[in-house]
Structure 1
């Protein structure tokens, strides 16, 4: 489908990548590639959030504690997602990113489906580990591909549109899984959601081509050398930490929101899937597109806006988060969640911003480091610590232990802002592109 160049030594087909010299025009092939990669992102997010809407059903069926649920929804997935993300991204910087994405897509889809057959906590835990291993090879090479398909002046827009996959996957995952879980059980829900993603691997292999990467962009450096360079770059590290810490609160809430709404407002899974998924997806999609358009307009005028925009979004999120978890009304909780989803979507341009502080041949590795911190802190430790805090507060919180555990997580938003401020101070000295 794509016009291809001569096959390189590795045997991976390549397509011409748009460069700044060609202006800001984005070729049709790049838009098609973005559509396919975004669809993969949608299924990745669906497989990830499917568990959250089913937690209460799984807890009842398998007789699990909140701490065990936190491990299933967090650390079981995130630990291996984080640990394997960097080596897989380093591999993606040197081999076919599309082949890597396709193999990983098959793995995480199959493991999601296998989770529906689990008969014990340990079996379920292993299935979530498999999902984490598979999804570790999705986002870093995908961000790298979008960065190569789109010229620098349109990179933030391309990545913002790619990030809409998370919002679409959230509403699709919550709405569809909520319906399937309520009418057919949590096992059938996981099996259907998992198997639905398998055909995408074939589409990716048959219709997409790698954008060309100049030979000079492939230095002979080891993974440890790449890591050493990036870890010493202050702006890159402050941005990565800021992004991850803010998600400890927001993503931690997302994992626990269905259980919270069931316990505090007696909502049903179908209602939660429709309202929470709908508000979150609408806000998130509008946010990521708005963030990309805002960055495309403001950053050419002053490059500092690529940090100011996500920092400002997190600053606005902080008081809204407190209102959301303390609200005695379901409608105010859901409304606040929708606005926070919008602001979190706007802040998502941070994943494009880090590419301004990394060389093209280190992009996938840089995104993997960012995703490592995001996974370890927000996806991994966040849900588990919230569940652990909820169990700890249960004897004294009179049925509201989860609410106060979520409130404690808000301190991470303040911590995130501190790193954004430090990134602004060091940005001028660390900028690469």
Structure 2
């Protein structure tokens, strides 16, 4: 019986994954190189958190501005551009999309080292966000075609471990580069009159471009999965026109015209204008409130637009308002053009609850981790060597948390439909307690030990939540589903968390107050996880029955 099953499974594997890439060795190679790409993704992203003390001193900026550079400038374009770029993942060559994105964000990371002020560094960070937006939709979509459902959470977890390996390498790269460059400066042999943080950015650009070429020439685009209405490959020009339409539909005034064409009624245009007005009003209100909290020294203006002073708070809330409006426009357009996407992604109670739970939990992770080194410098006198140690902690704890979490999630899912989400809940509770211990630690050893535990338990959700969402959507929607998931996670987690923590640190003079305040989101995350876990068994049964009916209809029509 087993041999008979094996003989049937092998051709199916070839049909699903493509004749050249169905072997175990090829799948492991692709998983490995995609993980390395994700390592570079987070290395280039997180290096700012280690360089923050040096950037603050050199550019004379505050904690909130560091939060803006680390969070909003990056997150806005990363999250929003991830939506139209998901169309590439679902309709065009994913390997080429990912290679191009990697080359772009590596180039912009290198250009960060040429920035002479806050504005230049902010523009470079925006470029990094745009390039990195290609990574997650393309890579997740590829993994769905390489790994079966029984191994999918494990594959996602291994890939997601690149987040923490990259974040950990950020500490190691920064420590080594800063030490090496300062040694050259002390001996008078430094070839450039650049501070060490700029050299660190410059040194990261070229390796990423080389990796982009390796990815392009060694990984073949797999044959798409053929179940449940898999996407049909279309031409590059067709996808570009569609992506251009997506971008225009999210950007005023083009979005107003797109609303008119889509709805053909005044109601659609008025609805779009109302959302835009609410976003502008919210940005103006939040700017006025936060400007009144901070001193002029902390948030000095960068210039004027008529009578309006351009402050850090104005940039923060205007950017977030644009991100919220753009996201609404894109999601609204998605509901109009794709009924199945609207049903399985936007109107699914389980998907909504799981994504919100992950977003709230990740807000805590970003808010605390993003300022951990800066906090340690102020409270424990951490230096470059400690940055190296902190990097090792992040790499090891994150790898263990995501990998073991993914394996554990798959194990529990075979015994209970909601097993993955129960594990995510338990891990979120543990991470919140350990973050609190970290921020109340009396010495450096306790600080590092608690941070290790908080990082390990705080990363379990990656495989569990992502596999839950991916398991409830059709194959052709997987890139779109992960783009929507990361849209919410990044707009909330990166767009709000780090900036608010930095702002509270500026206002109170104690960064720990803002970091501890972020922990109140853990209970809210648990509530949404619980709701999703309670509804998941019925949702999976309904999805499988609908998929079976769809498959039968396809066979009959064929």
**What is the TM-score with the length of structure 2 in the denominator?**
0.70
Q: Partner residue of 1:278?
A: 392
- 2:429 pairs, out of 312, 315, 318, with 315
Q: Is structure 2 residue 531 aligned with structure 1 residue 422?
A: yes
- 1:82 pairs, out of 57, 79, 96, with 79
Q: Is structure 2 residue 138 aligned with structure 1 residue 141?
A: yes
Question: Conserved in 2, the CA contact under 8 Å of 1:258 and 1:269?
Answer: no
Q: Partner residue of 1:379?
A: 494
**Counterparts of 2:364 and 2:410, CA distance in 1:** 28
Query: Which structure 1 segments of 5+ residues have no match?
Result: 1-14, 20-24, 395-400
**Counterparts of 1:26 and 1:343, CA distance in 2:** 33
Q: 1:176 to 1:214 in 2, by over 3 A?
A: closer
Q: Partner residue of 2:300?
A: none
Q: Partner residue of 1:70?
A: 67
**Counterparts of 2:362 and 2:443, CA distance in 1:** 24
Question: Conserved in 2, the CA contact under 8 Å of 1:18 and 1:27?
Answer: no
Q: Partner residue of 1:298?
A: 412
Superposition deviation, residue 425 in structure 1:
2.0
Give deviations 1:22-73, integer Å, cap 9, x for gaps: xxx9622111111110110010010011111001101111111111111111
- 1:402 pairs, out of 489, 511, 523, with 511
Q: Partner residue of 2:317?
A: none
Give deviations 1:210-255, integer Å, cap 9, x for gaps: 2211463128997444453311111111111111111111121111
Question: Conserved in 2, the CA contact under 8 Å of 1:90 and 1:223?
Answer: no
Q: Partner residue of 1:33?
A: 30
Q: Partner residue of 2:356?
A: 241
Q: Partner residue of 2:309?
A: none
- 2:215 pairs, out of 194, 201, 204, with 204
Superposition deviation, residue 292 in structure 1:
2.1
Q: 1:256 to 1:301 in 2, by over 3 A?
A: same
Secondary structure of the 2:37 match is helix
Give deviations 1:127-176, integer Å, cap 9, x for gaps: 00000000111012211211210011111111111112112111111111
Q: Is structure 2 residue 474 aligned with structure 1 residue 359?
A: yes
Secondary structure of the 2:497 match is helix
- 2:460 pairs, out of 342, 346, 349, with 346
Superposition deviation, residue 194 in structure 1:
2.4
Give deviations 1:328-379, integer Å, cap 9, x for gaps: 2111111111111111232221122211121111111111111111111112
Q: Is structure 2 residue 380 aligned with structure 1 residue 265?
A: yes
Query: Which structure 2 segments of 5+ residues have no match?
Result: 1-13, 182-195, 235-241, 243-332, 545-558
**Counterparts of 2:78 and 2:69, CA distance in 1:** 13
Which 4+ runs in 1 deviate beyond 3 A? Answer: 15-19, 219-227
Question: Which deviates more from structure 2 when the two are superposed, residues 172-181 or residues 258-267?
Answer: 172-181
CA RMSD, Structure 1 to Structure 2 (Å)? 1.9
Superposition deviation, residue 297 in structure 1:
2.2
Question: Conserved in 2, the CA contact under 8 Å of 1:160 and 1:348?
Answer: yes
Question: Conserved in 2, the CA contact under 8 Å of 1:26 and 1:150?
Answer: no
Q: 1:189 to 1:16 in 2, by over 3 A?
A: farther
Q: Is structure 2 residue 291 aligned with structure 1 residue 176?
A: no
Q: Is structure 2 residue 505 aligned with structure 1 residue 390?
A: yes
**Counterparts of 2:399 and 2:123, CA distance in 1:** 32
- 2:164 pairs, out of 154, 167, 190, with 167
Superposition deviation, residue 309 in structure 1:
1.3
- 2:45 pairs, out of 28, 31, 48, with 48
Q: Partner residue of 1:8?
A: none
- 2:204 pairs, out of 193, 217, 230, with 193
Secondary structure of the 2:496 match is helix
Q: Partner residue of 1:413?
A: 522
Superposition deviation, residue 390 in structure 1:
0.8
